[in-house]
Structure 1
Amino acid sequence: MNRQLVLASSSPYRRELLSRLQLPFEAISPDIDETPRKAETPQAMVRRLSESKATALRERFPEALLIGSDQCVVLGDSIIGKPGTHEAARAQLQAASGRQIEVHTGLCLLDAATGVAWNDVVSYDIVFRELDTLEIERYLEIEQPYDCAGSVKSEGLGVALLKRMRGDDPSALIGLPLIRLCEMLRAAGMHIPAA
């Protein structure tokens, strides 16, 4: 029998991804401090934050399987966040033009009843084409990716800006690595597809 699933997230992208598995779930914002720690690598940060998100809901859902996920985009030595504005998105895409970014998505599945946790980081490399100002502007006007880290929606028109992508799970780029999550859910005793 499948257990109660809780997604520790307020992200509409993560909700949409999890709904693809056709399992009933609740989505609750974990409301945690997401400040990076000094000298913390991007991979360590998303792993820690994913686990913190799942753990934040453990007391409220003591019998559930809790899913936490966090993502960061790295360009050179800098973590790039969500742009929030058109101007910031333009600057991010101009900086990424002709370069590679790394997308790291942390994932934690926590069995609240036992305390057993499965943790992983799924990474992707994305290489941008050389972008001109006009195509950046057209893309931003159409897609408006102001709530997407790195300003690229690879699942939408953002794919037109790219030269290549390399990774194992394209859903990780949107914010929830479903292939790895299915492995974790099966390890926790769930049936996918559900019986």
Structure 2
Amino acid sequence: MPPKPLLLASSSPYRRELLERLGLPFTCASPDIDESPHEGETGEALATRLAESKARELADRFPGHWIIGSDQVACLPDGSVLSKPGNHEMATEQLRQSSGHRVLFLTGLALLDSDSGKIDSLCEPFNVRFRELADEEIEAYLLREKPYDCAGSFKMEGLGITLFEALEGRDPNSLVGLPLIALNALLRQWGRNPLLENRPAS
């Protein structure tokens, strides 16, 4: 029985570029969900719920697929959650809050079989130690990259690396938005091995 086609539940070019690294064919579609946190919801619960919701939202439109959902939130040391800032003012405030602190980034990942409803999900943690940032550095960075659709107000794959003192975690891809090590493990558990599927023809 041939493997079911993969669908990435995202319109993010960053996630698409990451998934391309596994060498498996896939398509993309953008889910429409409410990303508002629930009252009292932890960052881990929020990231996981959003990843699952993205995958489930597309299930009826894409039967016969394995759907990959992913979403990310950031948590300050006091436990408060930083979501996507949406505009320059909020991004400025987020980077001021992160300056000089260790921020925990939580990336939810879900793999859903749209036919059976089977779903496996997890949350990948990654710590970022921000250096002390001057207001002029924050302004210069935001005007350059405009990361207003990124949790925590930076783009890891761009100039965001200049904001940090250290990165602590097992998979830096999760900071870009898709934890590839965890996804590869889920795919292998479901019977697909990207490494074997990319073997050259003998």
TM-score under structure 1 normalisation? 0.92
Partner of 2:113: 111
User: Which runs of no fewer than 5 residues in structure 2 stay unpaired?
Assistant: none
How many corresponding residue pairs? 195
Question: Is residue 174 from structure 1 mapped to residue 184 from structure 2 by the alignment?
Answer: no
Partner of 1:54: 55
- Which of 80, 92, 98 is the matching residue for 1:96? 98
Give the drift of 1:113: 3.0
- 1:117-156 alignment runs, 5 A limit: 117-156=119-158
Give the drift of 1:2: 3.5
Give the drift of 1:98: 0.6
Equivalent-residue separation in structure 2 for 1:78 and 1:164 (angstroms): 21
Q: 8 Å contact 1:3–1:190 — kept in the other structure?
A: no
Give the drift of 1:86: 2.4
- 1:4-23 alignment runs, 5 A limit: 4-23=5-24
Equivalent-residue separation in structure 2 for 1:174 and 1:70 (angstroms): 10
Task: Look up the equivalent residue of 1:107 and give its one-letter code.
Answer: L
Q: 8 Å contact 1:2–1:191 — kept in the other structure?
A: no
Identity %: 50
Q: Give deviations 1:28-75, integer Å, cap 9, x for gaps.
A: 112122221122111111111211211122222221111111111112
Q: Give deviations 1:76-133, integer Å, cap 9, x for gaps.
A: 2321122222232222111211111111000000122333221110011111111112
CA distance change for structure 1 residues 35 and 136 in 2, over 3 Å: closer, same or farther? closer
TM-score under structure 2 normalisation? 0.89
Task: Look up the equivalent residue of 2:26 and give its one-letter code.
Answer: F
Equivalent-residue separation in structure 2 for 1:29 and 1:19 (angstroms): 17
Q: Secondary structure at the match of 2:148?
A: coil
Q: 8 Å contact 1:47–1:107 — kept in the other structure?
A: yes
Give the drift of 1:175: 0.8
